[in-house]
Structure 1
Amino acid sequence: MASREQFSSKTGFVMAAAGSAIGLGNIWGFPTQTASNGGAAFVMMYFLLAFCLAYPALMAELVIGRHARANIVTALRHVAPSKPTRFLGTFIGVYGVIVASLILAFYGIVAGWMMTYLGASITDLFQWNEASQWLTSFGFTRNIIAMGIFMVLTIAIIASGIQGGIERWSTRLMPMLMLILVALILYVLTQDGAKEGLKVYLIPDFSQIKPSLILDAMGQAFFSLSLGVGTMLVYGSYLSDKEDLPKLGAIVTLTDSGIAFIAGLLIIPAIYVAQAHGTSIFSESGTLIAGPDLIFQVLPSLFNSMGGIGPYVALAFFILMTIASLTSSISMLEVPVSLASEETNATRRQATWLIGGVIFVCSALILLNFELLFTLVIDFTTVYSQPLLGVLLCVFVGWIWHRNSLLNALKAGSPHLEQSLFWKIWPVYVKFFCPLLILATFIQSIIG
């Protein structure tokens, strides 16, 4: 097994972890969830639950990863005290690797769409109408080429290692993402209709605070931090013992939820600017259009209505979405690659290209059977598997790992932790409350 790399700095880890968390779902999912769940009431509930639910679960992954210094399968085996719990750890780890790989299989397809619209915004500038039409028309050839290009980018970064790949590109791409995001917000807020969008986003409607809103906010907080499939556990395994984990986990949680909020300042006003330009922004059921329809129908029609500046705004927006896609995809690929490079004789580069190739084939199979498999894979991974894996990881930390061993693992980097409020609350919280709250979200997802 090759010696393990580490993140060279706290900033490198925070940028990589935030990049993993800030993906396509965060940029379109959080804002539209907010708009259809009482505006600022949802935002307040989301921030509350990000720290009450997502932060404790994030800490569970980080502490296992750093203590074991290994991939998810080996790490869970390492902290398991008996043969049955080691078997359980192996099962959870392998399940997490499969789920992370399947998430990347459908995510690569959606990210490919972002790249085709980015390409179309460039061809529009040169008025290459035929190229633009091909790039924005749904078709197998377009989809597989775009997905393949995106997968090669993801593979190239992961093959370069932790410092030379993940850290290097995260510390470059995340500031670029923030710069484009802020520039787009400043532009959109000057447009007609933006004020109405800001009102929806920032003025709370407390009558909307119902069990369904609380559970939606809980689910968004949990999923937005990439929890459950081992990405944060693997990133935690590359952390130095000098780092204060509770503080670092809080920084990541605050960074992620903060950028989600900032993304809302772009998307919600942009939707209402589109309405001011004559675009329909509500579905037949009366809810605000979300998901792919928002990104590929509502916003492009807004860009088209902007005149000469429209193609440049579209270009900036789809660069933003492509960066968000890439910073998330590299963390997903790292989960299976870390396992293969540590548990087999394959080098990191060999493992990355082999696993990347297998995931490319899975994506191609989804594209060949799109109507049947696309939604099925999304539901299996994000609706059902992620919450269950989150519960199992909390159970591992709260019930299986010996309390003294857990304290010693956390004390590295924060020697006075035993006297802190964190240590008085977190072990009990992650043992009882976290699993119950995540299960409540899971049940609501199924019922919903």
Structure 2
Amino acid sequence: MPTDCSGAVMQCSGRISGDFTMNKRDSFNNRWGFILACIGSAVGMGNIWMFPTRVSIYGGGSYLIPYFIFVALIGFTGVIGEMSFGRATRSGPVDAFGYACGTKGRKKLGELLGYIPVAGALAMAIGYTVVMGWILKYMVGAFTGTALAPSDAGEFSARFGSMASAFGNNTWQIAALVIGIVILMFGIGRGIEKANKVMMPVFFILFAILGIYVAFQPGAIDGYRYIFRVDPKALADPSTWIFALGQAFFSLSVAGNGTLIYGSYLPDNDDIPAAAGRVALFDTIAALLAALVIIPAMATTGAQLNQGGPGLMFIYLPALFKSMPGGYIIAVIFFVAVFSAGLSSLINLYEAPIATIQEKLHLGRKASCGIIAVIALIVSICIQGIVSDWMDVLSIYICPLGAGLAGIMFFWVCSKQYVESQINTGRSQTFTKAFLPVCRYIYCPVCILVLILGILLGGIG
């Protein structure tokens, strides 16, 4: 029987809820299965279409320095905290928040607040489904040749504009949703874990191949020089630090939902701080791989990378690939790798709402997936023309709010003894005593800062 946040022994409804018990709860089969799933949740479009652009805009190495600092900070506070919170309660955000507040006699309030990150995960997954429909269409088009069929950048832009309009990509979007939901129906060990054991190696291997190819192209050296140069003026610019913070924060997927729910499937003998360190490391490697491919590739044509987001992936890069030797093969490798990264993030986002339906309505896995699939199908079809605004609202308001709430619940509402015992579960040595003070007085305020800066600047993630 678990101990509550004050150390008293009690039965927690977050760990034992109806027939959704610890004995029946699915789990990862092994440590690396969990780590690869978490890496998959972190590695996504932000690594590919945003990170290289910000490296280019904010001075190369001048941007990398604060980025590495913030990755280390968030990885060893927020990521560890959300994983530990999930494992401690063996539940998703609703019951986890309810458990924390329940020790103060406010369980219902905690559960109500827990629905915020769950709703955020579902809304983000729905928006991501639209993007995955674009990627799937371009991936198949890379094999057939249609992805590189336009003759110039103007035609590439017109084609993407048509696809990204209202009801402009229904078939491929539905197909992407079906692929994700089918994986989720198989559960954690047989679905999410097995899928990520394929998708994550595919992503890293294919991007490494692209990196080697680009390295041998004339002019690529100029891109490498830019990536690793340090401009003191750019380093002193507050914007460099602000957008490095936003990139690190959103890239590591701290939002009180996906990382927390994955943590709930972990056994007690796993070392969470070590796992969080590996997730942060491989997420950073993924971002650097993308920068080492895209920035030097742009440099081969003398172009400057100052356009991020979907325009980079679906307009400028396809036009660039078409002009390069072996461009059709490069396009295939690129879009297969991007689809692998995107799908791993998509299933992570859908897992929190699916698990919540299982926990609160006591439904089976397939029925819960079916309910979420119907909601996602209807809403994602309807938001195709406004998906950019949809995602902006979520990244500005909901994600940092969810991360901040999870941080407050675990680091402030729960007692020091409870937090330290959960962090050290599965470890051979006690984790640093500085962990909780750093989380309380640095990480939680950082979540609030990300929310405020996002509102003021129109988004920093």
TM-score for the superposition, normalised by structure 1: 0.91
Q: Which of 200, 220, 228 does residue 194 from structure 1 map onto?
A: 220
Alignment partner, residue 341 of structure 1: 358
Q: Which of residues 171, 174, 179 in structure 2 aligns to 1:153?
A: 179
Write the distance in 1 (CA, Å) between the matches of 2:331 and 2:147: 14
Name the aligned partner's letter for residue 356 of structure 1: A
The answer on 1:236 being equivalent to 2:249 is no
Asked if 2 retains the 8 angstrom alpha-carbon contact of 1:64 and 1:76, the reply is no
The alpha-carbon distance between structure 1 residues 100 and 206, as it changes in their structure 2 partners (threshold 3 A), is same
Structure 1 residue 215: Cα displacement = 1.5
Distance across 2 between alignment mates of 1:399 and 1:437: 15
1:409 aligns to 2:416 (yes or no): no
Separation in structure 1 between the aligned mates of residue 455 and residue 171 of structure 2, nearest angstrom: 34
Distance in 1 (CA, whole Å) between partners of 2:374 and 2:362 is 18
**Hey, what does 1:99 align to over in structure 2?**
120
Identity, in percent, stands at 29
| 1:212-266 Cα distance to aligned partner (Å, 9 max, x none) | 2112111111100111141000000011100111111111111211221122111
2:45 to 14, 20, 24: 24
- Alpha-carbon distance, 1:62 to partner: 0.8
SS at match of 1:80: helix
Cα deviations by residue, 1:76-127 (Å, 9 ceiling, x for unpaired) = 2123244664234213321111111111111111111111111221221899
Q: Output aligned runs, 1:234-383, within 5 Å.
A: 234-273=261-300, 275-276=301-302, 281=304, 288-307=306-325, 309-367=326-384, 370=385, 373-383=386-396
Alignment correspondent of 1:33: 54
CA displacement at 1:325 relative to structure 2: 0.8
Give the alignment partner of residue 215 of structure 1, picking from 242, 260, 263.
242
Match of 2:27 in 1: 6
Deviation at 1:411, TM superposition (A): 2.6
Listed as ranges, the matches of 1:116-195 within 5 Å are 116-124=137-145, 137-138=162-163, 140=166, 142-195=168-221
Residue number in structure 2 paired with 1:71: 92
* Native 8 Å contact 2:224 2:292 kept in 1: yes
CA 127–343 in structure 1, closer or farther in 2 if over 3 Å, else same? closer
Alpha-carbon separation, structure 2, partners of 1:299 and 1:11 = 33
Q: In the superposition, relative to structure 1, how do residues 92 and 55 fare at CA in structure 2: closer, same or farther (>3 Å)?
A: farther
Post-superposition CA distance 1:41-92 (Å, at most 9, x none) = 1112111111113430111101110011112111221232446642342133
- C-alpha contact (below 8 Å) 2:87/2:263 kept by paired residues: yes
- 1: CA distance, partners of 2:62 / 2:298: 19
- Structure 2: stretches of 5+ with no match in the other structure: 1-18
Equivalent position of 1:441 in the other structure: 450
Paired residues of 2:36 and 2:197 also in contact (CA < 8 A):
yes
CA distance in 2, matches of 1:106, 1:33: 22
C-alpha separation in 2, matches of 1:126 and 1:164: 33
Cα drift, residue 20 of structure 1: 0.5
Q: What aligned pairs does 1:73-88 form with structure 2 within 5 A after superposition?
A: 73-82=94-103, 85-88=106-109
Deviations 1:181-236 (A, max 9, x none): 00011111111231111111111212102222112111111100111141000000
CA contact (8 A) 1:397 1:431 kept: no
SS across alignment from 1:8: coil
Counterpart AA for 1:425: A
Q: Are the structure 2 counterparts of residues 349 and 190 from structure 1 closer, same or farther at C-alpha, using a change threshold of 3 Å? A: same
Residues 126 and 382 of structure 1: CA distance in aligned 2, closer, same or farther (over 3 Å): closer
Instruction: Check the 8 A contact 2:132/2:176 in 1, yes or no.
Output: yes
Whether the aligned pair in 2 keeps the contact of 1:64 and 1:79 (CA below 8 Å) is: no
Contact kept? 2:82, 2:256, Cα under 8 Å: no
* Partners of 2:96 and 2:450 in 1: CA distance: 26
The CA deviation string for residues 296-339 of structure 1, in whole angstroms up to 9 with x for no partner, is 111111111125x1111111111111111101000001010011
Contact 1:60-1:394 at 8 Å conserved across structures? yes
CA distance in 2 between partners of 1:235 and 1:264 (Å): 28
Contact 1:53 1:437 in 2 (8 A): no
CA deviation after TM superposition for structure 1 residue 385, in Å: 1.2
Q: Which has the higher helix share?
A: 1
Q: Secondary structure at the match of 1:70?
A: coil
Secondary structure of 1:227's aligned partner? coil
Deviations 1:391-448 (A, max 9, x none): 111111221001112222223202541xx4x2x1111111111122222222222222
Does the Cα contact within 8 Å between 2:55 and 2:64 map onto a contact in 1? yes
Asked if 2 retains the 8 angstrom alpha-carbon contact of 1:216 and 1:441, the reply is no
Q: Supply the AA of the counterpart residue of 2:342.
A: S
Give the Cα–Cα distance (whole angstroms) in 2 for the partners of residues 142 and 135 of structure 1: 10
Alignment correspondent of 1:285: none
- Alpha-carbon distance change, 127 to 337 in structure 1, aligned in 2, over 3 angstroms: closer
Give the match's secondary structure for 2:124.
helix
Given residue 321 of structure 2, which amino acid in structure 1 is its aligned partner? F
Partners of 1:333 and 1:356 within 8 A in 2: no
Secondary structure of 2:383's counterpart equals helix
Contact conserved, 2:41 with 2:253, CA < 8 A, in 1? yes
Who is 1:397 aligned against? 410
